[in-house]
Amino acid sequence: MSRNAISRLGDNPSDDICPVCKSNRYLNPSLQFLINPECYHKMCSTCVDRIFTSGPASCPVPRCGKTLRKRGFHKAFFADLKIEREVDVRKRVGAVFNRRQDEFETLLDWNNYLEEVEGLVFDIVEGDAKTRAQAEEKLKAYKEANSGEIEMNTRLGLEEGELEKRREKAEREAARQRRLAALKEEEEEKADLLKNRKEVLDRLATEDGDANAIAMQAQKVILKKSSARRNLADTQMETNKSAMDSGLTIRGLKKKEAPVVEKPYDPFGGVDLTPSRYVLQESYDSEWLGNAKRDMRHMAGGYSLQEYYARTMFEAFSGLGVFIEDEVADRGQPAPPAVGTTPAVGAIASGEEPQSKPKPQYKMESDDVF
Amino acid sequence: MSEDERYRTSTQYRLWSFTPSSLYALRKTTNLNAANRVRAAVQRLREAQAVSSTEASEAENGRSTSTLPEGEVDCLTVEEELKLVAFYCRQTIQLGDHLKVPTDVKATAIQYIKRFYITNSLMTYHPTDILKTALFFATKTENHYFRLTKFADAIGKTKPEDVLASEFLLTQGLRFTFDVRHPFRALEGAVMEMQALAHAGIPVLPGGAVVEDRPPNMDRRVKDAHGKAREYLKTSALLTDVYFHFTPSQIMLASLTIADPELTKWYITNKFPKNNNNTAAADMCEKVLGTVQKCADMLRTVEPTSEPSALERKELQALAKKLKKCRNPEKIDLVGLQRAKREGEGEDEKIIKKRKMEREQSAKEGEDLFGPEIKRS
C-alpha cells in the first residue's frame, strides 16, 4: 500500500496521460491539464479547446455529463484535486460566512459559529448528493438573508487588507530610508576623515611645532566630530520614529500598563505587633545572662538574646489586661446535674454517656477512653 | 494586635480559664457523674458475682464476694477530691525533684493533673497513675528529653506500660491542648525591665518619658523581690487554682506584690499613662491592681514553705483509704484495659502483618537473579 502511495506521487502514468484523448506527455511535452470546478474532471488543454470552444458542452468523462463552459476551466493549484475542491468550497463558504469575532458577545458564541460553518463545509466537501444539496441550500438561504451584512463584512475585510498592505509598504519604505541614511552617513564620515587627514598633513608641512601635538589634536577633533554626528543621528531616529507612530494606527493591540511596583513582603499580613506596654531595649543587664552574652558557644550558633528579651517582655505583659472573671463568666456553666433521675441512671447502666453535660459549645470530655 | 489580644488566642485562655463559680460547678458535675458511675459499676459487679457464685458449688460460697464491701458505696465529695488532688500535686513536685527535672516541667505536669481532674474524677482514675504520665508528658512539652525506660526506672516500681497506659486518656482529658503559659519567664522579663529602670533612664511606656521618681534603693529591692516571687511561683502558684482564674502576667505581678507591694504598685501604675483627662487608663490601672491583689490573696493561701500539718496528714490518710473503697472497679487496671483494647484491634493488625510479609516475600523473589520460581500448574 505504501508502495502504491509513493508511486502515485512519483510517476503515476495517469499524471501524464489525458484521460479524454489519451495523449501522452512523452509525445507532447507542453501537455497541460485543466479542470473545471463544476465536476473537477481533469483534461488536457487541447481537449478543452477542442470540445468547449464552440460553446457549452457536457463533460466528456463517462457518467459525468455536467454542462461545462470553457470559461470555467483553469489550472489546478493542488496536485490532489480533492484538496483543490475543498479549498474552492472553503473560499465560497468563507465569502458568505464572513462574520468577525468582535461581532460576537462571548468566545463561546464565536466558537459555536465557527463549528457550524465547519460543519457546513464538511457537508459540502464530503457529504453524499443529498446532504450536499441540503448544505448548498442552507448556504444560499443564508446568503440571501444576510446579504447586507455579508457585503459590509467583505468591505471591512478588504479595508483591513488594504491597511495591512499600506502598513507593510510604509515599513518597507522606512527600512529603505534608514538604509540610505546609513550609507550617506558612512560616506560623509569617510570624507570627513580624509579631509582631516589632509588638513593635518598640511599643518605639519606649513606650521612649525611639535608634530606629535598636532597629530594628537587632530585625532581629538575627529573623535569629537564623529560623536557629534552619532548624537545627531540618534535624535533624528527618535523624531522619525515618533513621526511614524503618529502616521500609523495598529488596531487590536492591547494597552500597555506600567507594572505595579511590588510592596515589600509582610509576613504578618498587616498585623501590628509593636509592644504597647513596654519599650524593648537593645540589651538588658541580667545576672545569669551575662555569661551567655559573651560566650562564643552561645552566640556562634546564631542564638539571639534579643529574641529572648522580646519573648520575656512579651510574656510579662501578655494578658495583663485580660480579666478572666469578667470575660469568661458566661462560659463553662454546666447544665444542672441530673442526679438520681431515671434516664441518667439508665444511660449509665447501659454504658452510655450521662446526659448531664455542660452546654454543647463548651462540651467537656468525660468520655470513656477504654 | 495588642499583647492581650495575643493572649486571648491561647488555648489556656480559650479552654482553660474559668471563673471560680463555673470551675466549682464543673467539678461538682464531674464528681456526681463519677459517683453515679462507680455505684452502677459496683452494682454490675455484684450481680455478676452473684450469678457466678450460684453457679459454683455452695461450698465455695462467700469467698469471692469478700473483695467487695457490702452496702452503699461511700463516694468522695468535691472538697475531698480537691484535697487529694492538692496532695498529689505536692507528690508530683517531690517526684520531679527526685527525677531532677526543671521547674517548668514540674509546673506543666501539675497543670496537666489539675486540668485533667476538672473533667475526670479521682474515683475513676487514680492520681498515682495519672501523675506519672503527666510528668512524662511535661518532659516532652517542655523540651526536657527523658527516655521512657529511664523515666520508669528512675521512678521505681514502674514499668513503661504503666506510664503509657493512660497516655491517650490524659491527652483527651487535656482536650488535646498541651500548651501551658507559665509566669516564670514573665517574671524574668519584669525583673529585667525593673533593673533597667533602676540603672538607666529608659522609658516605661512607648512614647513615654523617662520616669525620675524611683523608689529608694530600687536595685537591691528588685533583686530581693525576684527571689521571693520566684518561690511563690514555684509552689503557691502551682498548688492553688490561680492558673485557671488569672493570666500569667497577673500571677507574676501578684507574686511580686507579695514580695514587695510598694515596688510592684509603683511599677504597675507607671505602666498606665497618667493623664488628667485619660480616665480609661486610670480605671484600667485600678482594675489591674485589684485583680493582682485578688490573685495575691489566693497565692497566700498556700505559703511556699508550708507543709501539710500532722492533722491534715491524718485526714489525707483517711481520704486515701476512703478513695480505695470507692474506686470504680472497672477502671482500676488501666494497663489491662489498654492491652484489652489493643488486642481488640489486633485482628486487623494480624492481617496487615500477613500482607506485609507476603509483599516482602514477593519483593525478595523479584530481586533474585533468575526471578521467582516458576510455578507449575
Candidate from A284, A311, A322 with C-beta closest to B13: A322
Kindly report the CATH number assigned to the domain that includes residue A17: 3.30.40.10
Query: A325: distance to nearest CA of chain B, Å?
Result: 5
User: Which three-class secondary structure string do you get for B130-151?
Assistant: HHHHHHHHHHHHCCCCCCHHHH
Q: Are residues A169 and A116 in the same domain?
A: no
> Per-residue confidence at A267, pLDDT binned at 50, 70, 90?
confident
User: Cell match 513615654: residue?
Assistant: B208
- Read off the pLDDT of each residue in B35-41 and give the average, rounded to a whole number: 90
Domain boundary among A245, A265, A282: A245
> Per-residue confidence at A42, pLDDT binned at 50, 70, 90?
confident
Q: Does A351 touch chain B (CB under 8 A)?
A: no
User: Cβ–Cβ of A317/B181 closer than 8 Å?
Assistant: no
pLDDT of the residue at A236: 62
Count CB neighbours of B269 within 10 A.
15
- Dihedral angle, C-alpha B102, B103, B107, B113, nearest 10 °: 50
B134 contacts B92 by C-beta, under 8 angstroms: yes
Q: Are residues A239 and A186 in the same domain?
A: yes
pLDDT of the residue at B62: 43
- A356 located within any domain: no
- A57's enclosing H/E stretch is strand A57-58
What is the rounded distance in angstroms from the CA atom of residue B330 to the CA atom of residue B41? Answer: 7
> Per-residue confidence at A295, pLDDT binned at 50, 70, 90?
confident
- B165-198 pLDDT, tens per residue? 889 999 999 999 999 999 999 999 999 999 888 8
User: Cβ–Cβ of A339/B36 closer than 8 Å?
Assistant: yes
**Both ends of chain A: CA-CA distance in Å?**
78
pLDDT of the residue at A288: 75
Q: Does B199 touch chain A (CB under 8 A)?
A: yes
Which residue from B minimizes the CA distance to A283?
B196
Domain boundary among A228, A245, A262: A245
- A155-209 pLDDT, tens per residue? 888 998 999 999 999 999 999 999 999 999 999 999 999 998 898 888 888 877 7
Boundaries of domain holding A54: 1-76
- A175 located within any domain: yes
What is the rounded distance in angstroms from the CA atom of residue A90 to the CA atom of residue A120? Answer: 10
Q: Are residues A193 and A234 in the same domain?
A: yes
**Both ends of chain B: CA-CA distance in Å?**
75
Q: Does B341 touch chain A (CB under 8 A)?
A: yes
Residue A68, strand partner residues: A57
User: Cβ–Cβ of A364/B28 closer than 8 Å?
Assistant: no
Q: Are residues A66 and A107 in the same domain?
A: no
- A336-359 pLDDT, tens per residue? 433 333 333 333 333 333 333 333
Domain boundary among A245, A263, A281: A245
Q: Comparing C-alpha atoms, which of A339, A325, A333, A343 is closest to residue A363?
A: A333
- A134-159 pLDDT, tens per residue? 888 888 888 888 888 888 888 888 99
Candidate from B25, B188, B245 with C-beta closest to A333: B25
Would the pLDDT of B83 be above 70? yes
User: Cell match 486515701: residue?
Assistant: B320
> Per-residue confidence at A237, pLDDT binned at 50, 70, 90?
low
Would the pLDDT of B249 be above 60? yes
- Read off the pLDDT of each residue in B141-152 and give the average, rounded to a whole number: 92
Q: Percent of chain A at pLDDT above 90?
A: 14
B58 contacts B66 by C-beta, under 8 angstroms: no
User: Cβ–Cβ of B4/A319 closer than 8 Å?
Assistant: yes
User: Cβ–Cβ of A319/B249 closer than 8 Å?
Assistant: yes
> Per-residue confidence at A107, pLDDT binned at 50, 70, 90?
confident
- A357 located within any domain: no
pTM, two decimals, is: 0.59
Q: Comparing C-alpha atoms, which of A250, A254, A253 is closest to residue A166?
A: A250
Q: Are residues A111 and A184 in the same domain?
A: no
Instruction: Report residue B307 CA to chain centroid gap.
Output: 20
> Per-residue confidence at A13, pLDDT binned at 50, 70, 90?
low
Would the pLDDT of A275 be above 90? no
| A101-139 as b/e: b if 16+ CB within 10 A | eeeeeeeeebeeeeeebeebbebbbeeeeeeeeebbeeb
Count structural domains, chain A. Answer: 3
| A146-166 as b/e: b if 16+ CB within 10 A | beeebeebeeeeeeeeeeeee
**B-chain residues within 8 Å CB-CB of A275?**
3, 206
**A-chain residues within 8 Å CB-CB of B206?**
274-276, 278-279
Candidate from B7, B19, B118 with C-beta closest to A325: B19
Q: Pick B278 or A357 by higher pLDDT.
A: B278
- A267 located within any domain: no
Domains defined for chain B, CATH in brackets: 30-50+72-180+325-342 (1.10.472.10), 183-301 (no CATH)
Q: Is A349 exposed, middle or buried (0-12, 13-18, 19+ CB in 10 A)?
A: middle
- B295-321 pLDDT, tens per residue? 999 999 988 888 888 888 899 999 999
B363 contacts B189 by C-beta, under 8 angstroms: no
- A342 located within any domain: no
Would the pLDDT of A335 be above 50? no
- Read off the pLDDT of each residue in A296-302 and give the average, rounded to a whole number: 80
**B-chain residues within 8 Å CB-CB of A364?**
26, 30, 118-119, 175
Residue A33, strand partner residues: A44
Q: Are residues A43 and A5 in the same domain?
A: yes
Which residue from B minimizes the CA distance to A328?
B18
Q: Comparing C-alpha atoms, which of A140, A317, A218, A1 is closest to residue B252?
A: A317
User: Cell match 517548668: residue?
Assistant: B104
Q: Pick B138 or A242 by higher pLDDT.
A: B138
Q: Pick B345 or B314 by higher pLDDT.
A: B314
- Residue B188 makes CB contacts below 8 A (sequence gap 6+) with A286, A312, A316
pLDDT of the residue at B306: 80
- B93's enclosing H/E stretch is helix B78-99
User: Cβ–Cβ of A358/B26 closer than 8 Å?
Assistant: yes
Residues 95-154 of B with CB under 8 A from A: 118-120
What is the rounded distance in angstroms from the CA atom of residue A283 to the CA atom of residue A281? Answer: 5
Highest mean pLDDT, choosing among A4-13, A292-301, B259-268: B259-268
- A320 located within any domain: no
- Read off the pLDDT of each residue in B246-254 and give the average, rounded to a whole number: 94
Could you tell me how many CB contacts below 8 A there are between chain A and chain B? 188
Residues 20-49 of B with CB under 8 A from A: 20, 22-23, 25-26, 28-30, 32-34, 36-37, 40, 44
Q: Does B186 touch chain A (CB under 8 A)?
A: yes
Would the pLDDT of B276 be above 80? no
Would the pLDDT of A366 be above 60? no
Would the pLDDT of B220 be above 80? yes
Instruction: Report residue A205 CA to chain centroid gap.
Output: 67
- A25 half-sphere exposure, CB direction, 13 A CA radius: 11
- B322-334 pLDDT, tens per residue? 888 888 888 888 8
Q: Name the phi and psi angles at A277, rounded to 5.
A: -115, 0
Q: Does B331 touch chain A (CB under 8 A)?
A: yes
Q: Does B194 touch chain A (CB under 8 A)?
A: no
Q: Are residues A46 and A3 in the same domain?
A: yes
User: Which three-class secondary structure string do you get for A259-312?
Assistant: CCCCCCCCCCCCCCCCCCCCCCCCCCCCCCCHHHHHCHHHHCCCCCHHHHHHHH
- Read off the pLDDT of each residue in B26-41 and give the average, rounded to a whole number: 91
